[in-house]
Amino acid sequence: MEEVKKQVDLVLDGFFYLFGFTENPASEATKEILDKSPAEKIKEDLKRVNKEYREQYSKMRKKVLCLE
C-alpha cells in the first residue's frame, strides 16, 4: 500500500508541475522510488517474498505438527 502512495504522490507532483501549480519537483532531491536501480528493487522484492513464504511455512508446520 505504501508503494502505491509513493507512486500516486509522484504522479500528483508531475500533474501539478505540468499545469504550473508548483515548481519542478525534480529540482529537489530525487524521489526514493527513482533512486534505486532495478536490481536493488528486485532484491528487495525477493527478500520480502522469501520472508512471507518463511512465515507461512512456519505457520503451516506448526499447524500440521500440532505444535501450537
pLDDT at 29: 58
For the chain (length 68 residues), average pLDDT per consecutive 10?
82 82 68 73 87 89 79
CA distances to 13, 30, 40, 62 from 27, in Å: 12, 8, 24, 52
> pTM of the predicted model, to two decimals?
0.41
CA distances to 18, 35, 55, 66 from 62, in Å: 54, 40, 11, 6
pLDDT at 11: 84
Domain ranges of the chain: 1-35, 36-68
pLDDT at 30: 56
Contact 67, 61 (CB under 8 A): yes
